[in-house]
Chain A
């Protein structure tokens, strides 16, 4: 045992995963320390840095925004012995079975309710119980498809369930990502240790999804994952799971119920969907039969599920099983429904809906955890409340006792984790997963562990956002390597591709990904050109250079936004800055993770790292506009890498075409707007020449210009190179021609492309008629009216073109609720108001307007 592990001390009287009560380490941990090369603090800190770097390269976040907190992962896994795991696995299978039996009864026979075995409030007053789901069943012997459980080990060493996750269990994507990262960082150990693999579970999940497909789906059912949207905190988890399983991730708007079945609105023909994995809370899945204000669902989905045309998992009403009050009744229900004793206990829970338990809870408020029965409700540690707060809470509980439970706190076992300068004992919670197969439930051989961010503490629940850990189940046998590509005796899939096109939503995200990637690059280049001029000339404002700097600075402000040069790079809150474009690009990419090459994340990660380093540097040095060179160069490198991935690593399909069109539209707009802000005024030729030089640099054309004309810059030849020369990949003519080629490659949703094509034809004509020599002639007052007019008519057409592309290809109709038809009630006029139109220049927010959101926790 190494010194480092020897210095580790368990946190308290509870169970520790590494140390036995004697103080000696369990054998597995000894082996870990020897093999993993984590014997010293320096090594360990290095591993932690490796983990964070990999997570950044993979774009893993808890949330979609780069501003959201990163996904934190401790390098040391939780080790569990195979023999112990076998017992736990059996208990988890039983628990999934029990919950399956309960949910089946609640939505069909209702025997548990009519016999009084389960108090009515626990089911009928719980928001997870959906009356519209009554009578809907999925094919096969099980109604509960996927079960998640949060487990902790008690002081006596036994495992307890803190909460069941049945609505739309989160974490399968994170669990696999954790394994991928840790296996790489601890590669030596991972290869030598006999660790149970995670892969087979995901494979089983694919088979299970086929098991539950409607019989009409045939041999190759089509599956999709319904996401709660790119703004959900678990959007990485959803996207990664979809990618791993090989199914498209879709939003409610991308789906439509027609002819009694579910379809994916693709850019081409609609494609049928047979099985839908829902990551949207049940109540938000169908505005017709469930919450009418939901923008996340699909009208008619409940009907399609009821008629058996589509299978939705987990079934709509499965969220009722998350009621913690149910924990009190599970032992009894297990005997009643399965005829056996419950193998896996739960945290001791008192439901206040029963008078005796309620008075016990009120009398012990100071040592219990108090929470509401609905998921995501408030939760209090009684011992942290003041006397007055406890009195208020008692009043609230007494007013609606059936909505509250009290839980005995659990002294969860601790695991050594990398803290600040030492190994620290952190309380640990595991999230396990089980999926329904015809023969029974299959449990993931591993789990998503989370530890408390602080030193050991009592936990009743560790939220998903805490520090994560991988969980290794150590086996006596060597573990076969499983790979989804390995054949498993299953019949060959169909020869024709199952998925042909992409959804309109994914197409829109790729289009915006292209636009924001280009905007990032264009803004970096423009700021860099101005910065260079600033470095040379800001001390001599009266000189030609100083005047050119003033022209460029004003133009930069017009094209981007107001602010110091440094703010234009790093301020993410201000539209127009580099950082803003990077964030928007990341959000778009997150929404289409299943469409992008994995290397995309490395490139975006490097841009973000460059911006973060610059922010840190600024906060130390104070603000000054100098010294931006390095950050701009690093960020530009990332941008170039992205462009390269787009050019060399993506198949030229519809999605790529839209991404490229997005890039071209953006480049064309940026160019025209920059020229409008700079060259429409006639100045001293010496000043103009410097301005043009900077613009040529910003548009990557200065070398060509010098070689071709071998002179200082003149406006007419400048216009020829940047507007008319189709062979210059930075010219307007080049962008217009690429957009035209893109349109030709897209499926045509006629007649909606008429306006789009007319605008493009106008642009082509305008360029053909453009005479640089005539256009640049100044009038008597020092303006260049003809050039200004020509640029302006290009500018607005390019803007319109962007809007028309959105209308022709991405428009998905927005549903609205009917007026209430009660007859005697006068409906409110505002109930059918629809969200207003959105401008052409930024991606509209998802569910714009008074949308209601509901995503599974």
Chain B
């Protein structure tokens, strides 16, 4: 487990996706979840989307999960579409310390999640919206099927009476140890039993697996989409475009809110993580999807992410830069 970062960090974030098509595209409809959520340990100073060629309509609304969802429509004929999310973010998350989290046994949490009523007085469930989110996060979802295999994998970590934070930390460690990180080992349509059988995958698979383990025992967990700042090797300068989208899991803990844990790196998250949004699984928060009209078939895709640390004194300049770059957006309430 790497050393946690304490204190505030500031980032200039760009996430660029470029599609190249063999034949002209006459119309393209896109749905992006590329603008970071506000709150929950981060401050968003400026953010927006740049679509090239220009979009006729760019409209943002808060989706069912409270994430910032953007719709856009491109009618200018094109062979290359580039969608870039720009933002300036400050984060102040501190890494959770399992020893200092409420030592609630997992069975008790499961009961609370099922009934949506606090087991002990003084254990608030949060606001009305929070209750719905907890209820939803205990159910199976399209990419997190609660199969027998997943439950079997989960069981060893769920010793009777064990505090939830410990269970979650151990699950992250086990997944980190048992599975190989290998891009290309899985695709968006790989199921959890297939990941379990192949013992390899990427961050989305590990997040889904941890969520599946937790849900199959009756607890609530959700999928978080975002980024993690990558460090250059010692003595080398950080290169542009080397960062990537990242994903992890978040488990509900009475009295402690949502405990964010990253099974890919076997750690609880800290200020080096930036959150885009959360949902039941990848499908709810995929960064970019769309529909295209073109006589040709196929396309190639390139993704580049930069999560660039900046100083507090540079924030104003970064905000000004983003505000000049991004297109005006219609707000749909």
- In the complex where A131-B64, A828-B189 touch, is A307 in contact with B332 (Cβ < 8 A)? yes
- In the complex where A131-B284, A135-B61 touch, is A125 in contact with B298 (Cβ < 8 A)? no
* With A288-B30, A815-B291 already in contact, 13 other A-B pairs whose C-beta atoms are closer than 8 Å: A114-B127, A124-B139, A131-B64, A260-B56, A303-B57, A813-B27, A813-B294, A817-B291, A819-B19, A819-B301, A821-B288, A822-B286, A824-B244
**Contact between A826 and B291, CB atoms less than 8 A apart:** no
Complex: chain A residue closest to B295, CB-CB: A813
Chain A hits for B64, CB < 8 A: 131-132, 134-135
User: Which one of B61, B71, B116, B128 contacts A110 once the chains associate, using CB atoms below 8 Å?
Assistant: B128
Chain B hits for A260, CB < 8 A: 56-57, 73
Query: What's the least CB distance linking A485 to chain B, in Å?
Result: 41
Say if the beta carbon of A829 comes within 8 Å of chain B.
Answer: yes
A815–B57 Cα distance when bound, in Å, is 19
Q: Mark A362-373, 1 if CB is under 8 A from B, else 0.
A: 000000000000
User: Can you list 13 A-B pairs, Cβ within 8 angstroms, ordered by A?
Assistant: A110-B129, A120-B138, A131-B284, A134-B63, A135-B62, A288-B30, A288-B31, A292-B289, A817-B290, A821-B17, A821-B289, A822-B287, A828-B188
Say if the beta carbon of A648 comes within 8 Å of chain B.
Answer: no
Chain B hits for A825, CB < 8 A: 183, 186-188, 202, 204
Say if the beta carbon of A306 comes within 8 Å of chain B.
Answer: yes
- In the complex where A259-B56, A300-B73, A825-B188 touch, is A815 in contact with B136 (Cβ < 8 A)? no
- In the complex where A820-B289, A821-B17 touch, is A827 in contact with B187 (Cβ < 8 A)? yes
Chain A hits for B189, CB < 8 A: 828
A385–B82 Cα distance when bound, in Å, is 58
Total inter-chain residue pairs, C-beta < 8 Å: 157
Say if the beta carbon of B26 comes within 8 Å of chain A.
Answer: yes
Say if the beta carbon of B59 comes within 8 Å of chain A.
Answer: yes
- Which 9 pairs, one residue from A and one from B, show the smallest C-beta to C-beta distance? A114-B128, A120-B135, A131-B64, A134-B64, A299-B291, A813-B293, A818-B290, A823-B303, A821-B288
Chain A hits for B202, CB < 8 A: 824-825
Complex: chain A residue closest to B116, CB-CB: A116
Say if the beta carbon of B131 comes within 8 Å of chain A.
Answer: yes
**Contact between A822 and B132, CB atoms less than 8 A apart:** no
- In the complex where A821-B288, A832-B298 touch, is A814 in contact with B204 (Cβ < 8 A)? no
Q: Mark A79-113, 1 if CB is under 8 A from B, else 0.
A: 00000000000000000000000000000001101
Q: How large is the interface on B (under 10, 10 to 19, 20 to 34, 35 or more residues)?
A: 35 or more
**Contact between A822 and B116, CB atoms less than 8 A apart:** no
**Contact between B136 and A120, CB atoms less than 8 A apart:** yes
Say if the beta carbon of B169 comes within 8 Å of chain A.
Answer: no
**Contact between A826 and B184, CB atoms less than 8 A apart:** yes
A259–B244 Cα distance when bound, in Å, is 34
Say if the beta carbon of B245 comes within 8 Å of chain A.
Answer: yes
Query: What's the least CB distance linking A567 to chain B, in Å?
Result: 40
Query: What's the least CB distance linking A285 to chain B, in Å?
Result: 13
Chain A hits for B204, CB < 8 A: 822, 824-825
Say if the beta carbon of B297 comes within 8 Å of chain A.
Answer: yes
Complex: chain A residue closest to B189, CB-CB: A828
User: Which one of B116, B184, B187, B291 contacts A818 once the chains associate, using CB atoms below 8 Å?
Assistant: B291
Say if the beta carbon of A769 comes within 8 Å of chain B.
Answer: no
**Contact between B292 and A815, CB atoms less than 8 A apart:** yes
User: Which one of B135, B186, B291 contacts A124 once the chains associate, using CB atoms below 8 Å?
Assistant: B135
Query: What's the least CB distance linking B28 to chain A, in Å?
Result: 8
Complex: chain B residue closest to A399, CB-CB: B148
Query: What's the least CB distance linking A317 to chain B, in Å?
Result: 10
Query: What's the least CB distance linking B135 to chain A, in Å?
Result: 3
Q: Mark A807-847, 1 if CB is under 8 A from B, else 0.
A: 00000011111111111111111001110000000000000
Chain A hits for B27, CB < 8 A: 256, 258, 813
A307–B57 Cα distance when bound, in Å, is 11
**Contact between B19 and A299, CB atoms less than 8 A apart:** no
Complex: chain A residue closest to B203, CB-CB: A824
Query: What's the least CB distance linking A130 to chain B, in Å?
Result: 9
User: Which one of B29, B56, B115, B297 contacts A299 once the chains associate, using CB atoms below 8 Å?
Assistant: B29
A824–B190 Cα distance when bound, in Å, is 13
Interface positions, chain A 286-317, Cβ under 8 Å from B, are 287-289, 292, 299-300, 303, 306-307
**Contact between B245 and A823, CB atoms less than 8 A apart:** yes
Say if the beta carbon of A257 comes within 8 Å of chain B.
Answer: yes
- In the complex where A259-B56, A818-B299, A824-B245 touch, is A288 in contact with B289 (Cβ < 8 A)? yes
Residue of B204, B288, B290 most packed against chain A (CB within 10 A): B290
Query: What's the least CB distance linking A734 to chain B, in Å?
Result: 36
Q: Mark B138-167, 1 if CB is under 8 A from A, else 0.
A: 111000000000000000000000000000
Q: Mark B54-68, 1 if CB is under 8 A from A, else 0.
A: 001101011111000
A713–B165 Cα distance when bound, in Å, is 98
Chain B hits for A292, CB < 8 A: 289, 291
**Contact between A823 and B290, CB atoms less than 8 A apart:** no
Complex: chain B residue closest to A301, CB-CB: B29
What count of chain A residues pass the 8 Å CB interface test? 48
Query: What's the least CB distance linking B32 to chain A, in Å?
Result: 9
User: Which one of A124, A135, A258 contacts B73 once the chains associate, using CB atoms below 8 Å?
Assistant: A258
Query: What's the least CB distance linking B72 to chain A, in Å?
Result: 9
**Contact between B31 and A289, CB atoms less than 8 A apart:** yes
Interface positions, chain B 246-288, Cβ under 8 Å from A, are 282, 284, 286-288
- In the complex where A299-B29, A823-B303, A826-B183 touch, is A125 in contact with B291 (Cβ < 8 A)? no
Q: Mark B5-27, 1 if CB is under 8 A from A, else 0.
A: 00000000000010100000011
Say if the beta carbon of A7 comes within 8 Å of chain B.
Answer: no
Say if the beta carbon of A34 comes within 8 Å of chain B.
Answer: no
Complex: chain A residue closest to B264, CB-CB: A824
- In the complex where A257-B29, A827-B188 touch, is A816 in contact with B294 (Cβ < 8 A)? yes
Residue of B29, B31, B189, B204 most packed against chain A (CB within 10 A): B29
Interface positions, chain B 26-78, Cβ under 8 Å from A, are 26-27, 29-31, 56-57, 59, 61-65, 71, 73, 75
Say if the beta carbon of B305 comes within 8 Å of chain A.
Answer: yes
Query: What's the least CB distance linking A45 to chain B, in Å?
Result: 54
Query: What's the least CB distance linking A103 to chain B, in Å?
Result: 15
Query: What's the least CB distance linking A336 to chain B, in Å?
Result: 15
**Contact between A815 and B19, CB atoms less than 8 A apart:** no
- In the complex where A120-B135, A815-B293 touch, is A288 in contact with B298 (Cβ < 8 A)? no
Say if the beta carbon of A115 comes within 8 Å of chain B.
Answer: yes
Chain B hits for A121, CB < 8 A: 139
A116–B183 Cα distance when bound, in Å, is 42
Chain B hits for A110, CB < 8 A: 128-129, 132
Interface positions, chain B 105-119, Cβ under 8 Å from A, are 115-117
Chain B hits for A115, CB < 8 A: 128
Interface positions, chain B 192-238, Cβ under 8 Å from A, are 202-204
Chain B hits for A820, CB < 8 A: 187-188, 286, 289
A289–B283 Cα distance when bound, in Å, is 11
Complex: chain A residue closest to B292, CB-CB: A816
**Contact between A818 and B289, CB atoms less than 8 A apart:** yes
Interface positions, chain A 781-819, Cβ under 8 Å from B, are 813-819
Chain B hits for A116, CB < 8 A: 115-117, 131
A134–B333 Cα distance when bound, in Å, is 11
Query: What's the least CB distance linking B215 to chain A, in Å?
Result: 12
Interface positions, chain A 132-175, Cβ under 8 Å from B, are 132, 134-135
Interface positions, chain A 303-345, Cβ under 8 Å from B, are 303, 306-307
User: Which one of A125, A259, A826, A833 contacts B297 once the chains associate, using CB atoms below 8 Å?
Assistant: A833
Query: What's the least CB distance linking B319 to chain A, in Å?
Result: 26
Complex: chain B residue closest to A289, CB-CB: B31
Query: What's the least CB distance linking A823 to chain B, in Å?
Result: 4
Chain B hits for A813, CB < 8 A: 26-27, 293-295
**Contact between B187 and A826, CB atoms less than 8 A apart:** yes
- In the complex where A115-B128, A292-B289, A832-B297 touch, is A257 in contact with B187 (Cβ < 8 A)? no
**Contact between A120 and B286, CB atoms less than 8 A apart:** no
**Contact between A822 and B136, CB atoms less than 8 A apart:** no
A260–B56 Cα distance when bound, in Å, is 8
A289–B138 Cα distance when bound, in Å, is 24
Chain A hits for B293, CB < 8 A: 813-816
